[in-house]
Amino acid sequence: MKMKDNVGESKTHQFIGKASLSHKMSLKRSWRRFNMHQFKLQGGKSVEDAVNDMLLDPDVEFAEPNYIFEKQSAGIEGAPMSAMEAIDAVNAMGGADSFNQTAADINVEEAWAEMSSNSNVPIVAIIDSGVDYNHYVFVESGAIWKNEDEIPGNGIDDDGNGYIDDVRGWNFAYNNNDPMDDDNHGTHVAGIVLGTTQDILKNPSVDPAKIRIMPLKFLDQYGSGSTSDAIEAINYAVNNGASVINNSWGGTSFSQSLQDAILTAYNHGLTFVAAAGNATNNNDESPIYPANYTIPNVISIAATNYSDSLASFSNYGSSTVHVASPGVSILSTLPNDSFGYSSGTSMAAPFVSGLAAMLLREQPDINGYQMKGVVFDYSYGVGGLYGKVASQSRIDALKAIQFVQDNNLDAYQPEWTGSRSLAADGSAGGGGCGMIAKVLSKHNNKNGRNTPPWGQTTLLLSILFAPLIMMNILRIRRKRILDNRRQFPRYNIESEVKINVGGRQLVGQVSSLSLGGARIDTEALLEDGGVVTLSIESPDGKQQIQVEGRVVWSEEKKAYGVQFCDAKDDALAAIGGWTKRFGIAD
């Protein structure tokens, strides 16, 4: 549970005491920075009753159960292999990609050839079942992160971070300093992350690692872990230098406290990669967490097979799953110096985490918001992924690294204020005309290329000089228009809009946005035929587009809209840059 922000230390102590005496609960741990606390139930009290009792207190912001999450893989396929057997298996594949061994080449070898020889060493936190840090791949490469501020074995918290002798991460499942893998899942995931950045299989010896793996164990030997331990692991990653967090686990329960922890990671610039799940589930309709959190640093990953099709087990979602990555029969490290194949979105996600680490070597200041945009935009389009993932693409390491090398990304990320819901379907009525004019400057990189930053933030829309209520407008040109689809897809967004109608201000809600327009819902009335002007501001505030058009009625949708024509290409391209990342409205 979390106390409200204005509750001081004295009231917090009173609440904890009351919980212990009156509600038969004992304090298990606290996150004092957030005034958030975990309690253990005693005396047969149900979780539901305990939560309801806490919510009755006016000083409590929220209370929730300690939800359980599961790993997102189908287990190891076949018997584990020795190092030589694994190398022979790779060599037998000939020209296939040196790590994922699929026909869907994500261009990692080509990306390795492009990597700069700089000294940046990004840290990737693996929140999982632990890592076999004694595996020869990690030992020879030196890939395991070491806490240089901690003296091993002296029983003292030398760096004052709250953990004693945490020289290579922490075991949150059993609350000790040994994050050794007792399941095999985390070791397999870690090998994929490292293998995305360098060759760990073709050669008998492993080169020095260009990244570091931070083992953070929160899943137990059965592959299950709690919300509270996941929160602890995320906070540890944030406070100890990680730039990327891999999360190959999930569950169906929304947790406000977990969302708050991810938001903390976002505010510190971390990239949060999450497996979309393995239940052939539409995540747009049935969310999986943490993949479905709408914080802009969360990248939700689906799995593809050898032919670049969505894997038979993979979850999907045209709005909430962002990009795909190979996840079928992936060869990687297993405990005890062995190797093995496994399938799942658990295997797809670490390719993206490894790619993010590669990009951070080139530009170490890329934040999670920007990373999501790069991974999304500089991927490989796959027709079979249309309607399955928002980008309609599978990752491409070469495209992404070339973009980052050629462009300086401004240090920008929007403030995240809330989540977006799915937009309802709708389209404008008959033809109309109007104009779009560019108002403010483009966001340019050092080469003068137009690279508008992406975001899941709200847009401010101002509509002046005319009556309007229900508006379906702003259609966006897309690079890929497939047969039997409407010409311009719309994107989900949730934003307030203020409308000036004859001197009276109305407040409505933007429910979807496209290059053609925005759908706005309000309870006021208007007449057909009015003239309106909108001003639409980009998420970063650096651009503004003005649209003028005529109010029309759509009989099909029983809604008013604004229609325009002769839109300028540069204005449409600018709007395309804003909306490219929004979830597509069905």
Catalytic positions are: 128, 185, 346
Question: Which one, of 233, 364, 367, lies nearest residue 297 by Cα?
Answer: 367
Q: How far apart are CA 281 and CA 137, in angstroms?
A: 35
Rounded to the nearest 10°, the torsion over CA 200, 204, 210, 215 is 60
Q: Name which of 66, 57, 76 is nearest 16 in CA terms.
A: 57
Diameter of the chain measured on Cα atoms: 79
CA dihedral of 425, 384, 325, 267, whole degrees rounded to 10: -20
CA dist., res. 66 & res. 226, Å (int) = 6
Which residues, at least 6 apart from 416, have a Cβ–Cβ distance to it below 8 Å? 263, 266, 295, 296, 456, 457
Query: What is the residue whose two structure tokens read 């292999």?
Result: 81
Of 581, 105, 28, 6, nearest in space to 322 by CA = 581
* Alpha-carbon span 187 to 184, nearest angstrom: 5
Helix (H) or strand (E) holding 15: helix 9-22
Peptide bond into 539 cis (omega under 30): no
In terms of C-beta density within 10 A (0-12 exposed, 13-18 middle, 19 or more buried), how is residue 475 classed? buried
Element (H, E) at 39: strand 36-41
CB atoms within 10 A of CB 161: 15
Q: What residues are paired with 547 via a beta bridge?
A: 436, 534
According to DSSP, residue 127 is labeled E
Distance (Å, rounded) from C-alpha 24 to C-alpha 536?
Answer: 54
DSSP type of residue 385: G
Tokens of 317: 């979602």
DSSP E strand boundaries for 335-391? 338-342, 379-381
Closest C-alpha to 477, from 578, 386, 583, 560: 578
The half-sphere exposure of 50 on its side-chain side, counting CA atoms within 13 A, is 23
Backbone Cα Rg of the chain = 25
The pair of three-digit structure tokens given for residue 294, joined into one six-digit string: 């709408």
Cα 585 from Cα 511, distance rounded (Å): 10
Q: Give dist(CA 224, CA 68) in Å, integer.
A: 7
Phi-psi region of 35 (alpha: psi -120 to 50; beta: other; left: phi over 0): left
User: Which residues make beta-bridge pairs with 499?
Assistant: 463, 506
Let me know: does 492 contact 585? Beta carbons within 8 Å. Answer: yes
